[in-house]
């Protein structure tokens, strides 16, 4: 082997070995310590007791189906659907209830209405319109 080839081969091996031996500087692996002194960020602690916003009332009952073909909303306190288009008219379990100086019920929102007493209406409804 010629001297020129030996020098070239030796330079190449040394040059490549330097790349293999070189290690990058270690990166910090532990937790970082925040700087001491006053904070420049605003405080996130509330000044008084925090009350969560009220939960929205459900528009449908998880147990009872809404009245067919009528606009209504669920009243959880009375445990009935309140018909939006008819005053003091309610629905639960295929029966409509109406308050007009006394209770009456029907299988249709348009009647015919049959008079009933307080025992003939759902308990939450009778409590709301106690006589």
Q: How far is residue 126's CA from residue 131's CA, in Å, rounded to a whole number?
A: 8
Q: Residue 105, class by beta-carbon neighbours within 10 Å (0-12 exposed, 13-18 middle, 19+ buried)? A: middle
What's the pLDDT tens digit per position in 35-73?
666 666 665 665 667 676 665 555 666 788 899 988 999
pTM: 0.54
Percentage of the residues of the chain whose pLDDT score is greater than 70: 62
* Residue 29's pLDDT band (cuts 50, 70, 90): low
CA 55 to chain CA centroid, Å, is: 10
Helices (H), the chain: 3-21, 123-128
What's the pLDDT tens digit per position in 69-123?
889 999 888 889 999 999 999 999 999 999 988 999 999 998 899 999 888 888 8
Report pLDDT for 106. 95
């Amino acid at each position: 082997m010629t001297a020129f080839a030996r020098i070239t081969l030796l330079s190449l091996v040394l040059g490549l070995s330097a790349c293999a031996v070189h290690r990058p500087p270690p990166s910090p692996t532990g937790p970082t310590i925040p700087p001491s002194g006053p904070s420049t960020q605003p405080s996130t602690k509330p000044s008084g007791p925090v009350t969560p916003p009220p939960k929205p009332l459900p528009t449908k009952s998880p147990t009872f189906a809404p009245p067919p073909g009528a606009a209504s909303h669920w009243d959880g306190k009375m445990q009935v659907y309140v018909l939006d288009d008819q005053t003091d008219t309610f629905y639960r379990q295929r029966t409509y209830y109406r308050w007009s100086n006394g209770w009456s019920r029907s299988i249709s929102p348009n009647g015919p209405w049959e008079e009933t007493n307080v025992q003939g209406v759902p308990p939450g409804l009778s409590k709301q319109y106690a006589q």
